[in-house]
Chains A and B, each alone.
Chain A
């Protein structure tokens, strides 16, 4: 158990819908990251928050947004969903914002039908 908790584990939704994925980092970790794993793109970095502020942005679509709350949990919002958004979404956390080991949650498997 990495200590990073993601909910839900599985999500099936229809095209055009909006979903929210939730992540609780390891106790004491200030950084939260979101990654997407799809068959054609592999594991890709989406976005990083550190202590409530956006720190880095990767290949995140404009239809996707995230935030980190004062209690350090994070949410990833995916809207206007398309079939191609079906993927495994991982949250990771680390103690600092750089040069530090990241630990991954179990992932949320999103299926868009």
Chain B
């Protein structure tokens, strides 16, 4: 089956630092989403990005479908950015999502 691998598994930053999270997937992509799970467990949509680049404030994402990876950039990190970041791959024939293991981000003041 599809493999979705995220790196790094854990990341600790000081407030104000930048970071790049990576998501590799083993099959061609039709649907790629990034989520932030906050400490209360909520899954918050960050990007729907099957290809190309998008930006939203301090966050941006790029998916290179031909090379089967996606990157999430966080700039000028804040303590509220802490939590787990998931990428999720969507199959061509439907919409079920396969999630990676996540990157646990901790931003210290």
Contacts and interface: CB of A to CB of B under 8 A. Distances in A.
A14 interface: no
A98 interface: yes
Nearest to B45: A103
Given A42-B101, A43-B86, A109-B41, A104 B35 contact: yes
Contact of A45 (B48, B93, B96, B101): B96
A107 B95 contact: no
A92 B33 CA distance: 13
Contact of A104 (B31, B43, B95): B43
Chain A interface size, under 10 / 10 to 19 / 20 to 34 / 35 or more: 20 to 34
A110 interface: no
Given A90-B43, A106-B42, A98 B33 contact: no
Contacts of B98: 45
Contact of B95 (A35, A43, A102, A109): A102
Interface string A91-109: 0101011111111101101
Interface string B10-54: 000000000000000000001101010000011111001010000
A113 interface: no
A107 B41 contact: yes
Contacts of A8: none
B43 to A, nearest CB: 4
A42 B35 CA distance: 14
A33 B22 CA distance: 26
A31 B42 CA distance: 20
B45 A48 contact: no
Contact of A102 (B41, B92, B93, B97): B97
Given A98-B93, A101-B45, A102-B95, 16 more contacts: A33-B95, A33-B97, A42-B101, A43-B86, A44-B99, A48-B95, A56-B95, A56-B96, A90-B43, A94-B95, A98-B31, A98-B92, A100-B95, A101-B48, A102-B33, A104-B45
